[in-house]
Amino acid sequence: MRPLVPRRTALAGGAATAAALAAGLAGCAPTGAGKVNAEAVIPPSDGPVTLTYWAWLKDLQKVADEFNKTQDRITVEAVWIPGGNAGGYAKILSAVAAGGGPDIAQVELRSVPEFALAGALTDLTRYGFAKDEKAFDPGAFAQIKVGDSLWAVPQDTGPGAMFYNKEVLEEELGLTPPKTWDEFRSVAEEVKKAGKTLMTLDPGDGSVLPLWAMQKGSVWFEPKDDTWVLNMADDPTMEMADYWDGVFSDELVSTGYGPFSTPWYAAAGDGKVLSYVGGSWGDALTETVPGGKGKWAVADMPRWEDGYASGGLGGSSAAVLSTSEHPAEALEFLRWMCTDPAGIDAMIENSGIGWSPAADYIGKKRQQPSEFFSGQNYNEEVILPMAEGQSLDWTWAPLMQRIIDRLGDGMLEVVGGGSTFTKMLPQAQEDIAEIMRKIGLKVEIAK
């Protein structure tokens, strides 16, 4: 293969134009948006408005249609995108950087500050969203707040609870679901003696650590004026870390595969893995355990003597993007979707969302006993108090995905025996501070 000369020069010419083009593109890409929160508020439109909403919730259009029926000013069109870390976020951020994109996008609660940091979000306090605080579950509302700004509308949450195989744990082994973490340890020992595992963890998934820390009462990321104060090695966190070091070194939980993975389902179906401690959305996933119907039940998340009843894991928000030309209308729709009983029921029915973000409404379907979970009315009896017992002080930091990956890699070291949580967390904190500083944020590590 010997390229012909004319073709080579043609390519060189093309490359030169492309280089100029690329330089132009790259030069403005990261800063294309982001100034919108300093500009004048966009007034509501006089005429009819069409909003687009990018999300990976299934059948979201059916939810939007419910809203479209209620009035004739605003039409919402839902567009399905891949899940956030599976490419959805990159798609949203690229669209915003290019000055386009939808009016509304689904963003996980913990990723909201990251999107704000990328200049992709409209600060909703400028559109009067602070007035709506009372309509929301305080635990949900707290997670979209950074300092005084409100960056998104919470769409669902995941208060922690314990889903367990009642038939095996209670009837076969004669144990009761642990109320405290100390009891969790002794129950796990008994379960291990019986040749089973109480719980499994995905060793590379660091997202359980913030859940455990916020339940214990720590606030890892504290915004103070324009500085982030990190508390990832404070007393409550270290106590929590020490506890899990003990659990890991005695191999009381299995770290071979994560909950809801293929092997997990196989083992859970066989009655070999007995529980999942995590977000309330685990209910829908637990319901697909083969042959589990009527055998499983839900209990409170095991807790500490101090700290809170529960913490949050997962959940997402609907964020108004900075490139939206109709933020007022977008907020109007989201107010309906996330607080109106009709909106909540539509989201539960069609999209199977996690815990309701509304203050006084958990969803019609969730006020009844569940056949799968041993006839227990678990939503009202367990999840509701768990949701109400969350820490309201927790704030998510920017770069949360990176932080969680760093924690996940740290957890792999702990599982591999090369470190402990008590050693790993302070190191992770140093790394995370460095990463945040590198992009220009002011960071302090609490003493």
Partner 1 sequence: MRSKSAPWVLMAPFLLLFLFTMVVPIIIAIVQSFLTVRRSGLVGEDGAVSHFAGLENYLAALTNQNFTESIARMLLFGVVQVTVMIVASTILALLLESASAKWPGLFRAAYFLPYGIPGVIATILWSFLYVPGLSPIVDVLGWVGIDVDFLGPSIVLWSIANIVTWTYTGYNMLIIIAQLKAIPGDIYEAARIDGAGPLRVVTSIQLPLIRPALMLTIIFSIIGTLQLFAEPQVLSTMSSGINSEYTPNLSAYAYAFQYNDLGMASAEAVIIALAAFILSAAALGISNRLGRKS
Indicate which single residue of 8, 9, 31, 293 sits in contact with partner 1 (rule: CB under 8 A).
31
User: Residues 277, 162: contact at Cβ < 8 Å?
Assistant: yes
* 119: DSSP letter: T
The answer to whether residue 25 forms part of the interface with partner 1 (CB under 8 A) is: yes
Indicate which single residue of 44, 83, 138, 223 sits in contact with partner 1 (rule: CB under 8 A).
223
Query: Which residues are bridge partners to 164 per DSSP?
Result: 275, 297
Indicate which single residue of 137, 202, 283, 332 sits in contact with partner 1 (rule: CB under 8 A).
202
The answer to whether residue 26 forms part of the interface with partner 1 (CB under 8 A) is: yes
Contact partners, residue 222, CB within 8 Å, separation at least 6: 228, 229, 230, 231, 395, 446
H or E stretch at 55: strand 49-55
Indicate which single residue of 8, 9, 30, 368 sits in contact with partner 1 (rule: CB under 8 A).
30
Count, residues near partner 1 per rule CB under 8 A: 69
x/- map, 51-90, partner 1, by CB under 8 A: ----------------------------------x-x-xx
Q: Kindly report the backbone phi and psi dihedral angles of residue 178, in degrees, each rounded to the nearest multiple of 5, phi listed first.
A: -70, 135
Q: Where are the alpha helices (DSSP H) in 353-420?
A: 378, 384-388, 400-415
Nearest residue to 435 (alpha-carbon basis) of 404, 414, 411: 404
Q: Kindly report the backbone phi and psi dihedral angles of residue 224, in degrees, each rounded to the nearest multiple of 5, phi listed first.
A: -125, 110
Q: What is the DSSP string of 291-307?
A: T-TTTEEEEPPPB-SSS
Indicate which single residue of 238, 380, 405, 423 sits in contact with partner 1 (rule: CB under 8 A).
405
The answer to whether residue 9 forms part of the interface with partner 1 (CB under 8 A) is: no
Neighbours of 85 (CB within 10 A): 13
User: Residues 295, 167: contact at Cβ < 8 Å?
Assistant: yes
Taking contact as CB under 8 A, which single stretch among the options 65-73, 179-187, 372-380, 434-442 is the one that binds partner 1? 434-442
The answer to whether residue 314 forms part of the interface with partner 1 (CB under 8 A) is: no
Identify which of residues 386 and 403 has a Cβ nearer to partner 1 in the complex: 403
Q: Is 437 helix (H, G, I), strand (E, B) or coil?
A: helix
Task: Please give the residues from 109 up to 138 whose contact with partner 1 meets the rule CB under 8 A.
Answer: 113-114, 116-119, 123
Indicate which single residue of 69, 305, 440, 447 sits in contact with partner 1 (rule: CB under 8 A).
440
The answer to whether residue 99 forms part of the interface with partner 1 (CB under 8 A) is: no
Indicate which single residue of 9, 27, 250, 371 sits in contact with partner 1 (rule: CB under 8 A).
27
Query: Which residues are bridge partners to 163 per DSSP?
Result: 276, 298
Beta carbon of residue 193, minimum distance to partner 1 (angstroms, whole number): 20
The answer to whether residue 402 forms part of the interface with partner 1 (CB under 8 A) is: yes
Identify which of residues 96 and 384 has a Cβ nearer to partner 1 in the complex: 96
Nearest residue to 160 (alpha-carbon basis) of 284, 370, 309: 309
Q: At 445, list the tokens.
A: 């590590």
The answer to whether residue 41 forms part of the interface with partner 1 (CB under 8 A) is: no
The answer to whether residue 279 forms part of the interface with partner 1 (CB under 8 A) is: no
Beta carbon of residue 164, minimum distance to partner 1 (angstroms, whole number): 19
SS (H, E, C) 90-102: HHHHHHHHCCCCC
Indicate which single residue of 35, 58, 73, 365 sits in contact with partner 1 (rule: CB under 8 A).
35
The answer to whether residue 263 forms part of the interface with partner 1 (CB under 8 A) is: yes
* 136: DSSP letter: B
Identify which of residues 208 and 298 has a Cβ nearer to partner 1 in the complex: 208
Q: At 84, list the tokens.
A: 């956030």
Nearest residue to 68 (alpha-carbon basis) of 254, 346, 404, 308: 346
Positions touching partner 1 (CB under 8 A) are: 10-11, 14-15, 18-19, 21-23, 25-31, 34-35, 37-38, 85, 87, 89-90, 93, 113-114, 116-119, 123, 146-147, 149, 151, 202-204, 223, 225-228, 255-258, 261-263, 266-267, 270, 272, 398-399, 401-402, 405, 408-409, 412, 415-416, 438-441
